[in-house]
Amino acid sequence: DQQVKQNSPSLSVQEGRISILNCDYTNSMFDYFLWYKKYPAEGPTFLISISSIKDKNEDGRFTVFLNKSAKHLSLHIVPSQPGDSAVYFCAASARSSGDKLTFGTGTRLAVRP
Amino acid sequence: DAGVIQSPRHEVTEMGQEVTLRCKPISGHNSLFWYRQTMMRGLELLIYFNNNVPIDDSGMPEDRFSAKMPNASFSTLKIQPSEPRDSAVYFCASSHRTTSSYNEQFFGPGTRLTVL
Mean pLDDT within A59-66: 97
pLDDT at A86: 97
What confidence score (pLDDT) does residue B61 get?
Answer: 87
With contacts defined as CB-CB under 8 Å, which chain A residues touch B41?
Answer: 2, 105
Q: Kindly give, in sequence order, each residue whose CB lies less than 8 Å from that of residue A34, ignoring residues fewer than 6 positions away.
A: A46, A47, A48, A49, A50, A90, A91, A92, A93, A101, B102
Contact present, B73 and B24 (Cβ < 8 Å): yes
pLDDT in tens, A15-34: 999 999 999 999 999 999 99
Put simply, the answer to whether B43 touches A2 (Cβ < 8 Å) is no
The pLDDT tens digits of the residues spanning B77-108 come to 999 999 999 999 999 999 987 766 567 899 99
- Cα torsion angle, A9, A88, A98, B50, sign: positive
Looking at beta carbons, which pairs linking B85-88 to residues 24 or more positions away fall under 8 Å? B85/B115, B86/B19, B86/B113, B86/B115, B87/B113, B87/B114, B87/B115, B88/B36, B88/B37, B88/B38, B88/B113
Q: Which residues of B touch A32 (CB under 8 A)?
A: 101-102
Specify the pLDDT at position B103.
74
- Closest Cα of chain A to B106: distance in Å? 7
Q: What is the mean pLDDT of residues B41-46?
A: 91
Q: What is the number of CB-based contacts under 8 A between chain A and chain B?
A: 65
